[in-house]
């Protein structure tokens, strides 16, 4: 259930470049590190387009990167914990027949993806106006509530509705990617984005392992065998809400532009109380001398000054999205290919548990524990590949060629998966055949992992380092 990134949701804030920050027109907060000491005018155009981390580049904002990593890890662990037991869960729904399990699993996964697709732009738009931090906190908390409800689902339609709700309220992956782009500059952005899939890889280990191991036949609440992994995921998400509120710094604007989150929440409750009580002069009405004339009630200079000083709950946008910013040929092509990339990634992640858990000869008869362990293996390889191999591969091939290679590898992974264990499907209990099955399965998962990791990182870098640098 991977979702598409929306780091491109706020392009107008980063259209033009400055001498120090190649990607963003405004200087970041002081805690985000020093700007690069090398001016863009001192380098040729080719050096500016191909250089990522310079000798005098900005230091990585390690503390904020760690906070973003904790949030992303909690979310990825929770979301990935569903896949190992989802086919088994669907098979126990009274309204799902045995030959319709695949359709049921696909419907549940599609409900999440479709709902998230509908609202992903809204969460990006909202984060532009009230800030990244409140949107992340809201989405994480509501996602935790959805996980609790999913643990109590006993019919197919309940599961579909709950997953649709989780998709509607969860736009964090795009917002977190945007935060990552805003707290870095071109001198260290490539290095920061390289480690983003490492977090997804760790979540790919912990999530399936938790989901597969906690569904072991023991019912923590009678009649709800899948409550344990869901309540565990909800607790992780609630912990992420606390970490966000306590340690995440707002990356959208300077502190003086909009009041702190706590003050805005207080203002919101005050305004709601005044609206409900019918206050004669509520404070949520901004007073401006431009909207008054001599026939209306006279407003004193003190009231006028108070209206100017009164903080706004929603940030006013100074720029608006224009069509020519999105309808560039390179941009449209990147969007379309990224659609294919995410379609392939999500399809594989949804179909693999169905294929693995189905009875032979249709599937390979893997238990939820075995599915979880195999997915954890893929997550472990993600970390090794990203840390050891990918940086050198991208340096040699470049982002564009690496992105093309990832799309090609998805073709091979889909072509090979039906042949995994095909010759030994009639003897699933044979030790030799089982070993061969796991070896073949490991090869396919490695190919798919390389495609997913390299494609995701390359796409994020193409968006952040190329699309937003030109007006």
What's the CA gap between 315 and 262, in Å, rounded?
Answer: 15
> DSSP labels for 166-186?
HHHH--HHHHHHHHHHHS--T
Q: pLDDT tens, 448-468? A: 988 888 888 888 778 766 544
- DSSP at 347: H
Q: pLDDT tens, 161-206? A: 999 999 999 989 889 888 888 888 777 877 777 777 778 778 878 8
Rounded CA Rg of the chain: 25
- DSSP at 25: S
Q: pLDDT tens, 359-410? A: 888 888 888 888 888 888 888 888 888 888 887 888 888 888 999 999 999 9
Say if residues 468 and 11 touch (Cβ distance below 8 Å): yes
Q: pLDDT tens, 75-110? A: 999 998 998 899 989 988 998 988 888 889 989 988
Rounded average pLDDT over 61-72: 90
**Domain extent listing, the chain:** 11-36+52-255+319-469, 269-309
pLDDT reading at 271 higher than 80: no
Mention every residue, 6+ apart, whose C-beta is less than 8 A from residue 27: 18, 20, 21, 35
Whether CATH 1.20.1250.20 fits 11-36+52-255+319-469:
yes
Q: pLDDT tens, 19-59? A: 333 443 444 444 444 344 444 444 434 344 444 444 456 78
Residue 109: name the closest of 119, 99, 117 by CA: 117
Which residues are paired to 221 by β-bridges?
224
Q: pLDDT tens, 154-169? A: 999 999 999 999 999 9
Of the pLDDT bands very low, low, confident and very high (cuts 50, 70, 90), residue 414 is very high
Residues shown for the chain: 471
Rounded average pLDDT over 212-218: 76
pLDDT reading at 11 higher than 70: no
Instruction: Supply the pLDDT for residue 309.
Output: 45
Mention every residue, 6+ apart, whose C-beta is less than 8 A from residue 286: 307, 310, 312
Residue 439: name the closest of 377, 360, 353 by CA: 377
Give the largest Cα separation in the chain, rounded: 93
Q: Which region among 65-69, 237-241, 294-298 has the lowest average model confidence (pLDDT)?
A: 294-298
Instruction: Supply the pLDDT for residue 316.
Output: 54
Per-chain mean pLDDT for the chain? 75
Say if residues 2 and 345 touch (Cβ distance below 8 Å): yes
Burial 240-255 (b: 16+ CB within 10 A, else e): bbebbbeebbbbbbee
Which residues are paired to 224 by β-bridges?
221
Residue 313: burial class (beta carbons within 10 Å; 0-12, 13-18, 19+): middle
Say if residues 184 and 468 touch (Cβ distance below 8 Å): no
The proportion of the chain whose per-residue pLDDT surpasses 90, expressed as a percent, equals: 22
Say if residues 144 and 172 touch (Cβ distance below 8 Å): no
Count of alpha carbons within 13 angstroms of residue 244, beta-carbon side: 29
pLDDT reading at 255 higher than 50: no
């Amino acid at each position: 259930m991977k979702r598409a990134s929306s780091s491109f949701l706020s392009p107008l804030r980063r259209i033009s470049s400055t001498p120090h920050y190649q990607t963003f027109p405004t200087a970041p907060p002081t805690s985000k590190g020093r700007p690069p000491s090398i001016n863009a005018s001192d380098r040729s155009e080719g050096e500016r387009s191909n250089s990522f981390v310079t000798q005098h580049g900005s230091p990585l904002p390690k503390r904020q990167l760690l906070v973003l990593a904790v949030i992303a890890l909690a979310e990825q662990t929770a979301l990935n914990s569903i896949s190992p037991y989802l086919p088994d869960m669907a098979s126990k729904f009274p309204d799902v027949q045995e030959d319709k399990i695949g359709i049921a699993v696909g419907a549940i996964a599609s409900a999440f993806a479709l709902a998230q697709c509908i609202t992903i732009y809204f969460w990006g738009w909202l984060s532009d106006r009230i800030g990244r931090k409140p949107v992340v906190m809201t989405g994480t908390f509501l996602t935790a509530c959805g996980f609790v409800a999913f643990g109590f689902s006993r019919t197919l339609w309940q599961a579909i509705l709950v997953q649709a709700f989780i998709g509607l309220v969860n736009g964090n992956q795009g917002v977190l990617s945007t935060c990552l782009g805003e707290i870095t500059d071109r001198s260290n952005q490539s290095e920061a984005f390289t480690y983003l899939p490492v977090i997804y890889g760790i979540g790919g280990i912990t999530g399936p392992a938790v989901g597969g191991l906690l569904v072991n036949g023991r019912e923590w609440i009678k009649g709800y065998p899948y409550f344990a992994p869901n309540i565990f995921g909800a607790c992780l998400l609630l912990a992420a809400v606390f970490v966000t509120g306590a340690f995440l710094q707002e990356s959208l604007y300077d502190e003086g532009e909009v009041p702190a989150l706590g003050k805005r929440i207080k203002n919101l409750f005050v305004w709601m109380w005044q609206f409900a009580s019918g206050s004669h002069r509520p404070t949520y009405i901004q007073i401006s001398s431009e909207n008054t004339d001599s026939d209306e009630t006279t407003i004193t200079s003190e009231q006028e000054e108070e209206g100017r000083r009164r903080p706004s709950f929603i940030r006013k946008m100074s720029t608006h999205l224009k069509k020519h910013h999105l309808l560039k040929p390179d941009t449209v092509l990147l969007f379309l290919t990224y659609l294919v990339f995410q379609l392939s990634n999500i399809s594989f992640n949804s179909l693999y548990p169905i294929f693995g858990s189905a009875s032979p000869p249709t599937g390979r008869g893997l238990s939820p524990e075995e599915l979880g362990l195999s997915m954890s293996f893929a997550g472990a390889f993600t970390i090794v590949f990203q840390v050891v191999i990918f940086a050198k591969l991208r340096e040699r091939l470049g982002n564009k060629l690496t992105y093309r290679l990832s799309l090609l590898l998805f073709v091979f992974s889909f072509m090979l998966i039906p042949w995994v264990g095909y010759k030994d499907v009639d003897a699933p209990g044979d030790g030799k055949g089982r070993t061969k099955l796991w070896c073949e399965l490991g090869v396919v998962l490695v190919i798919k992992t390389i495609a997913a990791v390299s494609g995701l990182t390359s796409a994020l870098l193409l968006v952040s380092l190329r699309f937003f640098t030109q007006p």
